[in-house]
């Protein structure tokens, strides 16, 4: 706000001076703005924390479900008692900044009633109650609805693949529950009468697999790495776990890929062929793997295959 006051005092343009002074006095230097800042900080801090975890490369779908469930519970609790806590914090900030901790009452516009309309007086809300209903509750309900929509999608995945999320859950399931889960997964992977797996065979494989898996195999990716070494001994379990790992936890990887594409295909490279574009995009996305390659060895292989032989 000090910057706005300095701008209003030093500016030679009357319009800039008026806008800066109006923004400082009537927009930023009021209690409603401070309260809104406190509410948004608490809300975005929780969502940003979950978002960072969801964007990690090694995120498992069961962990993502727990994080989304936690943020939904946080929003429900914040809706009940978050406004009062934010009000206390905003009043402390207002006291330190010398701002009066009151809501500005807006002028009530009364409309002339027409003939035949009811004479009952409309309920007039106070400025504080209007802020709580039309601002606080509105943004919290919007955030809850968007989070619940995403959480419902993950719940469907849990109903289908939940028994495969981790080894502990697989070992804890009894035979009847495990067989029912395998049959449900077979039906989910059925298309036009053909299924990728057989539920009964998957049940038999998992019954033996949960007893033979090494102790260090905790997550789904660990189980797949173990099955890759078994050379096709558990075909149905292998397909089920690979299908589980193809379910995306977040769209952050896809968004990063598109952002890489914009950096590679610029106006200077508008005539690039599709094959070259795919190659450069893959090199950019898999940068960590590329950094571990031996370029000297790759160049020697390329030169040996493309060397021109002179026939004497």
Condensed to tens digits (0 to 9), the pLDDT of residues 144-156 reads 888 877 777 777 8
- Residue among 206, 184, 211 nearest 195 (CA): 184
Tell me the pLDDT band of 25, cut-offs 50, 70 and 90. Answer: low
Judged against a pLDDT cut of 80, whether residue 28 lies above it is answered with: no
d(Cα 306, Cα 312) in Å, to the nearest integer? 19
Q: Which residues pair with 190 in a beta bridge?
A: 195
Give 57-95 pLDDT, tens digit per residue.
677 777 788 888 888 899 999 999 889 999 999 888 888
Least confident of 7-21, 129-143, 190-204, 241-255: 7-21
pLDDT of residue 77: 92
Over residues 173-187, the pLDDT tens digits come to: 888 888 888 888 888
DSSP character string of 129-152: HHHIIIIIHHHHHHHHHHHHHHHH
Whether 227 and 234 have beta carbons less than 8 Å apart is answered as yes
Q: What is the largest CA-CA distance in the chain?
A: 111
Confidence at residue 255, expressed as pLDDT on a 0 to 100 scale: 59
Q: Beta strands of the chain (E only): which ranges? A: 190-191, 194-195
Each residue's pLDDT tens digit, 231-241: 778 888 888 88
Where is pLDDT greater, at 123 or 53?
53
Q: Which of 52-61, 144-153, 276-285, 291-300 has the lowest mean pLDDT?
A: 52-61
Is the predicted pLDDT of residue 26 greater than 60, yes or no? no
Q: Which of 19, 99, 96, 34 is nearest to 4 (CA)?
A: 19
Pick 20 or 59 by higher pLDDT: 59
Q: How far does Cα 93 stand from its chain's mean position? A: 31
More reliable by pLDDT, 99 or 80? 80
pLDDT band per the 50, 70, 90 thresholds, residue 20: low
Cα 80 to Cα 53, 67, 160, distances in angstroms: 26, 20, 33
311 pLDDT above the threshold of 60: no
Is the pLDDT assigned to residue 36 strictly greater than 60? yes
Residues counted in the chain:
312
- The whole-chain average pLDDT of the chain stands at 78
| Contact predicate 178/171, CB 8 Å | no
Whether the CB-CB separation of 163 and 138 falls below 8 Å is answered with no
Token pair, residue 214, equals 């090494």
Give the best-scoring range by mean pLDDT among 30-44, 205-219, 281-295.
Answer: 30-44
- Label residues 80-91 b or e (16+ Cβ within 10 Å = b): eebbeebbebbb
CB 55, CB 4: distance < 8 Å: no
Average pLDDT over residues 133-152: 85
- What is the spatial distance between Cα 309 and Cα 312, in angstroms, rounded to a whole number? 10
pTM: 0.60
Has residue 258 got a pLDDT over 80?
no
């Amino acid at each position: 706000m000090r910057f706005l006051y300095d701008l209003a005092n030093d500016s030679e343009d009357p319009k800039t001076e008026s806008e800066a002074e109006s923004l400082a006095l009537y927009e930023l230097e009021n209690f409603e703005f401070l309260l809104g800042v406190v509410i948004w900080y608490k809300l975005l801090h929780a969502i940003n924390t979950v978002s960072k975890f969801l964007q990690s490369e090694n995120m498992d779908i069961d962990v993502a479900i727990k994080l989304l469930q936690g943020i939904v519970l946080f929003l429900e609790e914040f809706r009940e008692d978050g406004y009062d806590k934010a009000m206390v914090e905003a009043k402390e900030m207002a006291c330190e900044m010398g701002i009066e901790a009151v809501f500005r009452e807006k002028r009530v516009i009364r409309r002339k009633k027409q003939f035949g309309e009811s004479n009952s007086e409309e309920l007039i809300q106070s400025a504080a109650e209007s802020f709580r209903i039309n601002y606080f509750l509105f943004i919290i309900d919007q955030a809850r609805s968007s989070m619940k929509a995403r959480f419902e999608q993950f719940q469907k995945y849990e109903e289908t693949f939940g028994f495969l999320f981790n080894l502990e859950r697989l070992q804890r399931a009894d035979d009847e529950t495990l067989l029912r889960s395998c049959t449900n997964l077979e039906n989910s992977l059925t298309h036009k009468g053909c299924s990728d797996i057989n539920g009964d065979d998957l049940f038999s494989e998992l019954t033996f697999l949960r007893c033979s898996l090494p102790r260090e195999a905790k997550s789904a990716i660990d189980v797949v790495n173990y099955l890759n070494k078994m050379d096709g001994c558990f075909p149905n379990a292998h397909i089920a776990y690979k299908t589980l790992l193809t379910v995306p936890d977040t769209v952050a990887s896809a968004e990063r890929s598109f952002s890489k594409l914009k950096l590679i295909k610029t106006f200077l490279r508008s005539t690039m062929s599709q094959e070259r574009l795919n190659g450069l995009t893959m090199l950019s996305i898999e940068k960590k793997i590329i950094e571990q390659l031996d370029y000297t060895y790759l160049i020697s292989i390329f030169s040996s295959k493309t060397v021109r032989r002179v026939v004497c």
